[in-house]
Amino acid sequence: MELVKSRVEFNEVEHTYTLDGKQLRGITGILHEYICPGKYDGIPQATLAAAAARGHEIHSQCQMIIDGFGYANPAPEVKAFFDTPLVTSFIAAEYLVSDEQNFASSIDIVDDDLNLYDIKTTSTLDKEYLSWQLSIYAYLFEKQNPTLKVKGLYGAHLRDGAAIIVPIERIDDAIVADLLSAAADGLPWANPLKEVGESLMQGAANDLARLADIETAIADIEAKAKAYAAERDQLKDGLLALMQQNGVKTFETDRLKLSVREASTRTTLDSAAVKKDLPEVFEKYAKTSPVKASLTIKIKE
């Protein structure tokens, strides 16, 4: 399969895209301006720099392997990525796409089924960010290759010696085109997907208010329970010491029965250590169970 090559020139040192002397914008800047402003606020620069260096190394290793040069000692997560049964044959790495007017960027990986992959090495996978990023890539890919249709979008989470491939939802081309049009003209733009979510939650205002009242009450009850538990533990410690000093194993009243259980040891399995030191054993005996969606609630002061 032959992919159309863009005329845009990429300067890897300065990380710039140029066409006929005009510098085009990358997609990352647009996402940070319109979709997730302040995404990395509060994170020390040294931490961001270290993460970027690690990410660049992982990307480089993957690109060399896909381009046929191989890599003598790939990182464990890179090896895991190419060993995963979900991975098919790749036809391009760092494939540059552009509208050849305003924007350009490089897709990390394209496979022979025309699935697009973006490699992430962050601590968690930001699926919303990836959805926008890969949807824009897909839009530009199909404009550059008008006879081809992207099949699917995937985030490749390569971290801590493991590779997890996650399907990513594609955003409608009309929304992507509207975003790029606003960015090209430097105009403000309201995320319609975010507005839908906010509208739905505003419609549930009464439920949210009631939920806040309930959570506040629960927090108050939990605080009292914590205080009672601390007092209970203090009384238990005193009674245990008294019974041990007098050789009493059990003691009963009309309301309670106290029993002394002697000190002992127990053996547990350090799953994190096993995963790190014996990844093959961990994978063989690891059990994956579905976890249903849930809602986390935090009461603001």
Q: What pLDDT tens digit does each residue of the chain (301 aa) get? A: 799 999 999 998 898 999 999 999 999 999 999 998 888 888 888 988 999 999 999 999 999 999 988 788 899 999 999 988 766 789 999 999 999 999 999 999 999 999 999 999 998 899 999 999 999 999 999 999 999 999 999 999 999 999 999 999 999 999 999 999 999 999 999 999 886 555 555 556 666 566 666 777 777 677 777 777 777 888 778 878 888 888 888 888 878 788 888 888 878 788 788 788 888 887 788 777 777 766 666 766 6
CA proximity to 39, closest of 28, 27, 49, 50: 28
pTM of the shown model: 0.65
Give the single-character DSSP code of 248: -
CATH 3.90.320 fits 9-202, yes or no: yes
List 153's β-bridge partners, or say none. 116, 168
How far apart (Å, rounded) are the C-alpha atoms in residues 116 and 137?
A: 8
Domain edges within the chain: 9-202, 204-253+295-301
Q: Rounded to an integer, what distance in angstroms lies between the CA atom of residue 142 and that of residue 153?
A: 13
Tokens 């000190």 identify what position? 263
